Amino acid sequence: MKRIRQPIIAVLGHVDHGKTTLLDRIRKTNVAGKEAGGITQHIGATEVPIETVKQLAGPLIKLWKGEIKLPGLLFIDTPGHEAFTSLRARGGSLADLAVLVVDINEGFQPQTIESIEILRKNRTPFIVAANKIDRIKGWKIEEDEPFLVNIKKQDQRAQQELETKLWELIGKFYEMGFQANRFDRVQNFTRELAIVPISAKYGIGVPELLVLIAGLSQKYLEEKLKIEVEGPARGTILEVREEIGLGTTIDVIIYDGTLHKDDTIVVGGKDKAIVTKIRALLKPKPLDEIRDPRFRFDQVDEVTAAAGVKIAAPGLEEALAGSPVIAARSEEEVEKAKQEILSQIQSVVISTGKVGVTVKADTLGSLEALSKELQEKTIPIRKADVGNISKTDVMEALSVKDEEPKYGVVLGFNVKVNEDAEEVAKARGVPIFTGNIIYKLIEDYEAWVKGEEEKKKRELLSKVTFPGVIRLYPDERYVFRRSHPAIVGIEVVEGRIRPGVTLIKQNGQKVGVIKSIKNRNDFVQEAKKGEAVAIAIEGAIVGRHIHPGETLYVDLTKNDVVILAKQLKNELDETDIKALKMTAKVKAQEDPFWRAV
C-alpha cells in the first residue's frame, strides 16, 4: 500500500540568524482548541501534524490550491548546513525541503552563501524566512500573527523599511542566480523563490511559513513523498549516542518504509557495514510524563516513515553519523544492504596513494561534499576519511610534502585536531586547515597555495639573473670615468640589467660586474630595453677591455636558463626572450648546451 509521507525539512542559515529560535517556535506552536492535535516530538525531529497547519492557516488556506494530503511536516531538530551536509539519503539530501533563515537586518553572510550553494548542488527546494522583522524600528508586535495580518498594522515608515530590506535580499539572490520575491507576490513557485518575512522570536509570519512548506511539498514533491508503507525501512543516522542502561544507540530518521522492533538492520560503520538485530525502538516520552530522567523513552513496536527514532542494538559502537540504515528481512536482503552500504563507504572513504591533499570530515556526507568540491577544483586527494585529524593524517601529508609542498596539507571539515597531530604538524611544518564552511575552507587553502607560490617566485626572482644586452654609446663624451670603476653611458638594447650582474663580450670573455646604475640623477635597481643610463663597471678599463660603441651581454649560468624557462616563464617578456637568444649565441661558442636555448 502506498501513501504520502511527511516531507523532511531542514533549517539552514548563518549563525545567530535565528534557526534555533524558529525551531523552538514551531515546537511551541499552539492551536486554539486542543483537538487539532499538537506537535509530536520525535527523536531528533519535530512533527507538525497537518491539522495543526490547517488550523493555523485559517484564511491563508487560499495560499495553496488543491487538497493537502500530507500527514504533516517533519522538521529535523539540528539546524545548520553542517547537519544538512551530513544527512544524506540515496546519494541526495535527506531533507526534502529546506528553510533558509536570513536575518533581514544583516542580510547575506558566509554561511548563508554556503547554505545556498549546498542547496543548489543538492537541488533541494527551499523557502526563505527573512527573520527578525520585529527589529525594524517602530514594528508593532502581535505574537503568532500571520504576516499578512501583522503588516497591515504597521505604519508607513516601518512598511517602507521592510520593503527596502526585502529588495536588498532579492538583489542578493539575483546575484546568485535566483529570482526571489515576497511569497504573496510570487507568480510561479517553481521558478521563483518565496521569501516569508517572519519574527521567529514572536511567531509572526510562522503560520504562512508552515502553510507554504506544506503547500509546496504537496504540489512539487508529491511523487517523491510516496512510499511503500510496508516496505523495509531505510534511514540515515543523525547521531550515535551512549545512553545509560541502553549502551550505544543510534538516533535515526526513517525516510522510507516501516521499521519493526524485531528487524535486522544493516548500518554504516567507519570502514564496514554492521549487521545487528534491534533490541528496542524508542521514542521520547511526552515531557509531562517524564518522572525519572533515566526513563525518558517509550518503547514502540514499529515506526513508519517519516519519523525520528532511537534504535538500541548490540554492536553499534562503530556506527557512523550520516551513514545509512537499511532494514533487512532475509539473508538475501542483508547481503544486498551490506553491499550497498559498503560501496557507499568505499566511494567516499578513499586512500589513493596519489600525490594529493589529506581530507578529514565529521561524517560520510560532509566528507563526500568536501571531496566533491575538491575534485571540481581539480585538487587531487591522497586520502579521505571520517574522524578527527590524527598524527597519522599529518604523517600522510608529510609524505606528500617533499614531492609537492602544496599538497602536503590536511583539510578538516567540522573536526578537531588531536593534540599530538598538532604538535607534529607544527614541528614538521605541515599546514592544517579546518573550518565548517566548505567553500571558505577551500578558499583558505587556495589563498595559502597562492601565497606559497608567490613566496617561492620572489625567492627565485632574487636568485636568478635575467638576460640583458647593452651597447656603449660610441661617443667618447659618454665615457665618464675610464677605470676603478669604469663609468660609461649605455643603452639597454634588449632585456634588462641590474646591479650585480657580470658582463661579457661578444666573444664570451668576462668584462666585469655592474656595480651601480644611474638614471639621470638617481641610482636605480633595474634598467630595461630602451633606457639610456650610466653604469659603473668594476674590473673593466675603457680602452683596454671595453670600447665605446661595443655590445655587451649579461652573463648567465645554465641554472639561470633552466629556472627562467621552467619556473619564471611568465615573468619573461618578448625583449627578455630576445636578449636570452642573443646571449645564448655568444655562450654557444664555448658550450654546445646553449645551442638549444
Rounded CA-CA distance 63/148 in Å is: 11
Closest separation between CB of residue 204 and ligand GDP, Å? 8
Rounded CA-CA distance 87/139 in Å is: 38
Nearer to ligand GDP, 154 or 516 (CB): 154
Rounded CA-CA distance 102/17 in Å is: 6
What sign does the CA torsion over 380, 386, 388, 392 have? negative
Indicate the angle between helix axes 206-225 and 50-57, nearest 10 degrees: 140
Is 485 among the annotated ligand-binding positions?
A: no
Nearer to ligand GDP, 82 or 494 (CB): 82
Is 420 among the annotated ligand-binding positions?
A: no
Q: Using DSSP, state whether 579 is helix, strand or coil.
A: helix
Indicate the angle between helix axes 364-376 and 110-122, nearest 10 degrees: 90
Q: Using DSSP, state whether 123 is helix, strand or coil.
A: coil
The alpha carbon of residue 27 and the mean position of all alpha carbons in its chain are separated, in whole angstroms, by 31
Is 77 among the annotated ligand-binding positions?
A: yes
Is 79 among the annotated ligand-binding positions?
A: yes
Rounded CA-CA distance 82/365 in Å is: 9
Nearer to ligand GDP, 90 or 135 (CB): 135
Is 20 among the annotated ligand-binding positions?
A: yes
Nearer to ligand GDP, 79 or 324 (CB): 79
Is 13 among the annotated ligand-binding positions?
A: yes
Rounded CA-CA distance 22/90 in Å is: 28
Rounded CA-CA distance 67/4 in Å is: 13
Is 16 among the annotated ligand-binding positions?
A: yes
Is 81 among the annotated ligand-binding positions?
A: yes
Is 132 among the annotated ligand-binding positions?
A: yes
Closest separation between CB of residue 164 and ligand GDP, Å? 18
What sign does the CA torsion over 231, 236, 238, 239 have? positive
Do residues 234 and 325 touch, judged by C-beta distance below 8 A?
yes
H-helix segments, 190-307: 206-225
Rg (CA), the chain: 35
What residues form DSSP beta bridges with 512? 503
Closest separation between CB of residue 437 and ligand GDP, Å? 14
Nearer to ligand GDP, 78 or 390 (CB): 78
Closest separation between CB of residue 226 and ligand GDP, Å? 33
What residues form DSSP beta bridges with 277? 264
Closest separation between CB of residue 575 and ligand GDP, Å? 58
Is 134 among the annotated ligand-binding positions?
A: yes
- Tell me the C-alpha to C-alpha distance, in Å, between residue 175 and each of 168, 169, 180, 542: 11, 10, 11, 67
Nearer to ligand GDP, 120 or 135 (CB): 135
Nearest to 52 by CA among 67, 39, 61, 69: 39
Cβ neighbours of residue 159 closer than 8 Å, sequence gap 6 or more: 151
Q: Which one-letter DSSP state was computed for residue 408?
A: -
Nearer to ligand GDP, 149 or 524 (CB): 149
Which residue ranges make up the site for ligand GDP (CB under 6 A)?
Answer: 13, 15-21, 79, 131-132, 134-135, 199-201
Quickly tell me which residue has 545556498 as its cell: 116
Closest separation between CB of residue 246 and ligand GDP, Å? 29
Closest separation between CB of residue 131 and ligand GDP, Å? 5
Is 131 among the annotated ligand-binding positions?
A: yes
Rounded CA-CA distance 357/232 in Å is: 39
Closest separation between CB of residue 23 and ligand GDP, Å? 8
Closest separation between CB of residue 13 and ligand GDP, Å? 6
Is 46 among the annotated ligand-binding positions?
A: no
Nearer to ligand GDP, 17 or 182 (CB): 17
Rounded CA-CA distance 256/323 in Å is: 15
Nearer to ligand GDP, 16 or 446 (CB): 16
Closest separation between CB of residue 10 and ligand GDP, Å? 13
Nearer to ligand GDP, 13 or 257 (CB): 13
Binding annotation for GTP: 13-20, 77-81, 131-134
Binding annotation: 13-20, 77-81, 131-134
